[in-house]
Amino acid sequence: MTPRRSDSDFAAARQAMIDSQLRPEGVSDPVTLSAMASVKREDFVPVEMRSMAYADRPIPLGKGAALPPPAALGQLLNALLPVAGERALVVGPATGYSAAVLESIGLNVTATESADTKRSGQGFDLILLDGAVDAIPDALVAQLREGGRLGGAIADRGITRLVIGRKIGGAFGTRSIGDSAMPLLPINQAPPAFTF
């Protein structure tokens, strides 16, 4: 039988996440730090995995799904700078933790498992991919309003690179902000390339 952790144990683990995972990765935005310190990550993992809630690695959820590591989310939010009142779309929300963090900041959040534009609408200020893809789906870029930001991870030969981008003049490009172990999302995955 696994010993049950108390609320104070989880509060200490949340503070340790801030001090030993987020801050060392350059996460300094006070809004991001406050939101991640207030949302109880342990409430968003299966009961049998609660003791691993604050580990800096993906938490397997079954059927190929996983909750991304906290430092990856912190780095993305630190770069995206979400603002209360903005409309946000979270794609591949796993257990809902990332959506809850954005809601705690004051964003109006829609969560979806797919990049389907018909179901999730358009005109988002911020889109967060809660995992890695081979390429950013055009269907998601189309849902960004002008000036809107998108953050997620690109899988490239076994490495996942955290990226952020902005839609300007109808064009969209990304820049890398670091590497992280992010789970793959089952959307827009490119077929394997032919290699010699």
Give the residues across from 108 on adjacent strands. Answer: 87
- Domain count for the chain, please give it: 1
The parent domain of residue 77 ranges over 7-179
Residue 137 lies inside a defined structural domain of this protein: yes
The answer to whether the CB of 178 falls within 8 A of the CB of 75 is yes
Question: The domain spanning residue 72 has which CATH number?
Answer: 3.40.50.150
Rounded to 5°, the CA angle 126-131-132 comes to: 105
At 136, phi and psi to the nearest 5?
Answer: -70, 120
What is residue 63's predicted lDDT score, i.e. its pLDDT?
Answer: 75
Residue 59 lies inside a defined structural domain of this protein: yes
Distances (CA, A) of 173 to 27, 108, 147, 166: 22, 24, 12, 7
Residue 194 lies inside a defined structural domain of this protein: no
Under the banding of pLDDT at 50, 70 and 90, the label for residue 174 is very high
Q: Is the pLDDT of residue 74 over 90?
A: yes
Q: Is the pLDDT of residue 88 over 70?
A: yes
Give the residues across from 111 on adjacent strands. Answer: 90
What is residue 94's predicted lDDT score, i.e. its pLDDT?
Answer: 79
Whether the full predicted model's pTM is greater than 0.95, yes or no, is no
Residue 189 lies inside a defined structural domain of this protein: no
